[in-house]
Amino acid sequence: MKTKHTKVSTLISIVILIFLVLTGCDIFEKIFQLNPTPIPADEPATDTPTPTPTPDIISPSLVLIGSSSMIIPQNQTFIDPGATATDNIDGDISFNIVISGDIIDTTAVGTYYIYYNVSDSSGNNAEQQTRTVIVETPCRICQLNFNKCESDCKNGEKECIKNCEELYGIDTEDCWQCTLNCMDIWSEGCVGWGCADLEQKCMIENGCY
């Protein structure tokens, strides 16, 4: 049987408990939070290092379209074939090509030079390319073409004989026979029906006689 004193003590305890709940006192939390969840401390932020980009030191490739040497008949319209440029990083940079040099005047016989340059976004310069444009009279061009034809034939004959020597060895019967065949083939092409006939036809067509 509870005494009056016990009832009073219980009433006081209830009042104190209600007060602690309403005021949010830290003592209440410490008393009744038996297994508090630890609050993690803020971890220091770690900076991710920025990778250093590899410098671009490779020059673009610059290539002429067509021959680096052109012979144009006097008074004929000249159209520059142009060039192409590519870069390992920028890709096609043909639109960045800078063309300089002589103005081709086909009314005046002479030798003209066109220069092509380009650079990529990193400032790497391509090797300069040059085109030589020769403006000549039609009759003179007939002679120049004949000279080139003869030169090509002689070089072809030399290359043919060199191949014979490499294949059969020098001073062998097979090499000698192979060499004779080379001379016959190239002589027929250059003299019999080739260069001289082409020159004569060119001269007639242009009224050079």
- Cα distances from 86 to residues 50, 55, 96, 131, 172, in angstroms, run 29, 18, 10, 19, 50
2 in any annotated domain: no
The phi-psi region of residue 91 (left if phi > 0; otherwise alpha if psi is between -120 and 50; otherwise beta) is left
41 in any annotated domain: no
Using CA atoms, how far apart are residues 27 and 206, in angstroms rounded to an integer?
118
Using CA atoms, how far apart are residues 118 and 128, in angstroms rounded to an integer?
8
pLDDT score for 19 = 60
94 in any annotated domain: yes
37 in any annotated domain: no
23 in any annotated domain: no
What is the tally of structural domains in the chain? 2
168 in any annotated domain: yes
Which of 95, 115, 136 terminates a domain? The answer is 136
Under a CB-based contact definition with an 8 Å cutoff, are residues 149 and 190 in contact?
A: yes
The CATH number that applies at residue 97 is 2.60.40.10
For residues 121 and 172, state if they share a domain: no
Domain coverage including residue 71: 61-136
pLDDT score for 50 = 81
For residues 114 and 144, state if they share a domain: no
Distance of CA 13 to the CA centre of its chain: 89
Under a CB-based contact definition with an 8 Å cutoff, are residues 59 and 121 in contact?
A: no
Which of 101, 136, 171 terminates a domain? The answer is 136
For residues 100 and 148, state if they share a domain: no
For residues 171 and 189, state if they share a domain: yes
Residues 6+ apart with CB under 8 A from 20: 27, 28
- Token reading at 209: 């006689």
For residues 127 and 69, state if they share a domain: yes
DSSP letter assigned to residue 96: G
21 in any annotated domain: no
pLDDT score for 37 = 56
Q: pTM value?
A: 0.62
For residues 124 and 175, state if they share a domain: no
Q: Which stretches in the chain have pLDDT values below 50?
A: 1-2, 28, 32, 34
